[in-house]
Amino acid sequence: VIKPSIIVVQYKNLKVLRVEAEFLHNMRSLSVLMPCLEVLEIQYSPSVKDNSRISVEKIRIRELLIRCDGFDRVHRHKIISKKNEMIGFMNELKFYIAFESLECIAFTYSKTSILFDPKTLQIIK
């Protein structure tokens, strides 16, 4: 059996990665491929769901940034006003990310950020 870690090159110096949320479920070996990853930036998608939930090693990072900047003004207002949708999105990400290793979660839009406590998922600021 050939392991993917033998075929795929590791990115040992990569500290920050920016991906679309829909792509995250394709990154099953992220912790192995990018062992020094510290910050993951994801584009928010209210409809992201992964139907192929097989056991994966969770990504260990310090910061999770969730971008909401690609939406029009009406959609952006909807995101801001619906804390439950934000928490639902973070709960989906818990399948891939070791939240116990996080120091910071931030939803960013325009020039504003909403910070969440990674342990309680409560708004900090």
How does pLDDT run across 84-125, given as a tens digit for each residue?
888 888 998 888 889 999 999 999 887 788 899 999 999 887
How distant is the alpha carbon of residue 95 from its chain centre?
Answer: 10
In a domain, 46, yes or no: yes
Write out pLDDT tens, residues 33-90.
788 889 999 988 766 665 555 666 788 999 999 998 755 455 545 555 567 888 888 9
In a domain, 122, yes or no: no
Tokens standing for 44? 């928010």
In a domain, 121, yes or no: no
In a domain, 25, yes or no: yes
Longest dimension (CA), the chain: 51
- Nearest-CA neighbor of 107 among 92, 86, 77? 86
In a domain, 43, yes or no: yes
In a domain, 71, yes or no: yes
Whether the model clears a pTM of 0.85, i.e. scores above it, the answer is: no
In a domain, 45, yes or no: yes
CA separation for the pair 61, 70 (Å, rounded): 24
Q: Which domain holds residue 40?
A: 4-116
In a domain, 125, yes or no: no
DSSP per residue over 27-96, as a string? -TTHHHH-TT--EEEEE--TT---S-----PPB--SEEEEE-TTS-HHHHHHHHH-HHHHHHHHHHHTTT
Please state, in angstroms and as integers, the Cα–Cα distance from residue 60 to each residue in 7, 38, 41, 105, following that order.
Answer: 22, 8, 13, 13
Find all residues with CB under 8 Å of 84, minimum gap 6, and list them. none
Segment holding 21, helix H or strand E: helix 21-24
> Number of structural domains, the chain?
1
